[in-house]
Chain A
Amino acid sequence: MEAASAPLPELASVPWRSPEDAASLRRRGHLWTFFTFVHVVPFLGAAAGLVLLNPLAGPVAFVALVHAWIIPELYAFRGASVARPKGPRHGDAEDVAQGFLGDLLGHHARELQRETGLAMERGKLGVWLVGEAGALLVSGRRVHCFCIRATGAELPPSDRVAHLLLALRTDEIGFATVANHAFAGAPWRVRRRLDARMRPALDEALQTSVRPVPQPSISV
């Protein structure tokens, strides 16, 4: 994927946002780690303290442990939800749209999209998985979850994916800037909250993210 010659026109609708790049994504990742830490540690500390002070407080300590577990889980659930299928299926139109989306993808990405519903695209920020109303970005050791959609509920699902894919290919930085960042965390946290059929796409994106970027061959 190459840098865009022109920025996405949709950036005009979010003039207050600064462009999302690798450094800002790293900052977001660190912030999410920090907030997870401050949500979990006080509850763990409270649970341990209660049991040490009085073992009869065990049930209350258990509730504190549940809180320490459930808050990060809810955030991860929110992140993984961006990839879930949304909206009406539009049966007949979907067949046409699926064929068109397949034409935009390479052989491997096409098969993966048909099996998982997510279109994989390698960009400069990392490896993207584009769904109907959101995208996951595998970047470094984190998965970033973005809420983003094509306007128009009457579009068939594969057309929604194609809209997002074309916008991503046009301007990756602009795409990440227009999208709402929903979550960043370790891949295993997102994976366990994804639909089972989507998990192979995340596995594939993780493998692709650590492979060297293929260079175009030069004929002599």
Chain B
Amino acid sequence: MGRLIRMDSTGHSALAAWTAVDEAAYDAAVEAFRRELDEGYIAVVSEGEGHATQVRELPKDAELVIMRRPIAGG
């Protein structure tokens, strides 16, 4: 099962969940995903310890997609 979460002031918020066979849930997740991108969030697929990949489209087979805020030099 895939999960879309956003790191925010609550710790993190679950935005959507989908399975490979549930097209409606996936479409809803894609909608939520695009909304977050429009808000300025950056999507990252966590691939276990030490690995992460930035994505512009919601991968159907991903287990965890995290929306993070931009970073900047302090």
- Asked if chains A and B come from one complex, the reply is yes
Chain B: interface residue total (CB-CB under 8 A): 24
Kindly list chain B residues whose C-beta atoms are within 8 Å of the C-beta of A175.
Answer: 71
Known: A154-B9, A155-B8. A163 touches B72 (CB 8 A): no
Q: Which residue of A lies closest to B42 (CB)?
A: A9
B73 touches which of A109, A162, A178 (Cβ 8 Å): A178
Q: Tell me if B73 and A159 are in contact (CB < 8 A).
A: no
* Distance between Cα atoms of A1 and B46 in the complex (Å): 12
Q: Tell me if A5 and B74 are in contact (CB < 8 A).
A: no
Q: Tell me if A151 and B70 are in contact (CB < 8 A).
A: yes
Minimum Cβ distance to chain A for residue B42 (Å) = 6
Q: Tell me if B50 and A169 are in contact (CB < 8 A).
A: yes
Q: Tell me if A106 and B49 are in contact (CB < 8 A).
A: yes
Q: How large is the interface on A (under 10, 10 to 19, 20 to 34, 35 or more residues)?
A: 35 or more
The verdict on A64 contacting chain B, using a C-beta distance below 8 Å, is no
Q: Tell me if B50 and A1 are in contact (CB < 8 A).
A: yes
B7 touches which of A92, A163, A178 (Cβ 8 Å): A163
Kindly list chain B residues whose C-beta atoms are within 8 Å of the C-beta of A8.
Answer: 54, 71
Q: Tell me if B9 and A90 are in contact (CB < 8 A).
A: yes
Q: Tell me if A149 and B11 are in contact (CB < 8 A).
A: no
B70 touches which of A9, A105, A169, A179 (Cβ 8 Å): A9
Q: Tell me if B44 and A166 are in contact (CB < 8 A).
A: yes
Kindly list chain A residues whose C-beta atoms are within 8 Å of the C-beta of B46.
Answer: 104, 166, 169
* Distance between Cα atoms of A118 and B52 in the complex (Å): 19
The verdict on B35 contacting chain A, using a C-beta distance below 8 Å, is no
Which B residues lie at the A interface, using CB under 8 A?
5, 7-12, 42, 44, 46, 49-54, 66, 68-74
9 A-B pairs with the lowest CB-CB distances in the bound complex, closest first = A96-B11, A147-B74, A180-B73, A169-B52, A154-B9, A97-B11, A93-B11, A1-B50, A106-B49
